[in-house]
Structure 1
Amino acid sequence: MRRFLAAALATVLATGCAAHQQTVHAADTTAPAAPAGATEDFGTAEDVLRHLTAHPGDAALVTYRPGRPPEVAHRGGAPAPVASAIKIVHLAAYATAVARGRLDPAERVSLRAWEAYHIPGTDGGAHPRAVKELGIGRTATLDQLVTAMIEYSDNAATDYLRHRLGERALLRAAALGGRPPAAIPSLGGQMLLAFGPCGNGEFDSLDGIRRLAALPARERRARAERCMRDYTVHRRPPATLPGIDVQAAWTETTEPIAPATLAGLMGRVATGRLVSAKASAVARRHLEWPTRRGPLNDRIVRMGAKGGSLPGVLAEAVYTVAADGTVRVTVLSMRRMPPALWFEALRSYAHQQFVIKLSDTPGYPERVRTALTRRKAPS
Structure 2
Amino acid sequence: MAVAAALAVGLIVGLVVGWSGKAHAEACGPAPKAGVGSADEWLGRIHEEPDNISVLVDNGVGGVAERRGDEQQPIASAVKVVHLAAYARAVAAGTLDPQERVPVAEWERWYLPGTDGGAHEHARSRLPGDSVTIAEMVSAMIRESDNATPDYLRNRLGDQALIDAAAAGGWQGFVPPSLLGMMIRLSEPGVDAWAAAQRYANDPLYRVAVQSRPIPSFDAQLAWVETTHAASARQLTALHRSLATGAFGAGADIARAQLEWQEPPAGYAAIGFKGGSLVGVLTDAIYLRRTDGTVATAVLLNRRMPGETWLAAMKELREQELLFQAMVEPAALAQLTCAL
TM range (shorter): 0.7 to 0.9
What does residue 356 of structure 1 align with? 324
Per the normalisation by structure 1, the TM-score is: 0.76
Counterpart selection for 1:174 from 166, 175, 182: 166
What does residue 84 of structure 1 align with? 77
Give the CA deviation at 1:319.
0.5
> Structure 1 275/325 Cα, relative in aligned 2: closer, same or farther at 3 Å?
closer
One-letter amino acid of the structure 2 residue matched with residue 269 of structure 1? L
Checking the alignment, whether the CA contact within 8 Å between 2:59 and 2:328 is kept in structure 1 is: no
Matched length: 307
Checking the alignment, whether the CA contact within 8 Å between 1:149 and 1:157 is kept in structure 2 is: yes
What does residue 101 of structure 2 align with? 108
Identity of aligned residues (%): 39
SS of residue in 1 equivalent to 2:282: strand
What does residue 256 of structure 1 align with? 230
Give the CA deviation at 1:52.
1.3
Checking the alignment, whether the CA contact within 8 Å between 1:127 and 1:148 is kept in structure 2 is: yes
Give the unaligned 5+ runs of structure 2: 1-6, 11-32
Give the CA deviation at 1:148.
0.8
Give the unaligned 5+ runs of structure 1: 1-6, 11-38, 204-211, 213-219, 373-379
Q: Deviations over 1:251-280 (max 9, x none)?
A: 11002122211111111111122223xx11
What does residue 262 of structure 2 align with? 290
Matched, 1:62 2:56: yes
Give the CA deviation at 1:321.
2.5
Within-5 A mapping of 1:91-240: 91-135=84-128, 137-195=129-187, 199=188, 203=189, 223-232=192-201, 233-234=203-204, 235-236=207-208, 237-240=211-214
Q: Deviations over 1:168-191 (max 9, x none)?
A: 111111123334345122111011
What does residue 310 of structure 2 align with? 342
> Structure 1 281/84 Cα, relative in aligned 2: closer, same or farther at 3 Å?
same
Matched, 1:241 2:241: no
* CA distance in 1: counterparts of 2:148 and 2:293, whole angstroms: 36
What does residue 279 of structure 2 align with? 311
Give the CA deviation at 1:40.
4.9
* CA distance in 2: counterparts of 1:9 and 1:121, whole angstroms: 15
Q: Deviations over 1:111-136 (max 9, x none)?
A: 1110000101111111121112122x
* CA distance in 2: counterparts of 1:91 and 1:331, whole angstroms: 18
* CA distance in 1: counterparts of 2:68 and 2:308, whole angstroms: 25
* CA distance in 2: counterparts of 1:87 and 1:336, whole angstroms: 21
What does residue 9 of structure 2 align with? 9
Checking the alignment, whether the CA contact within 8 Å between 1:89 and 1:173 is kept in structure 2 is: yes
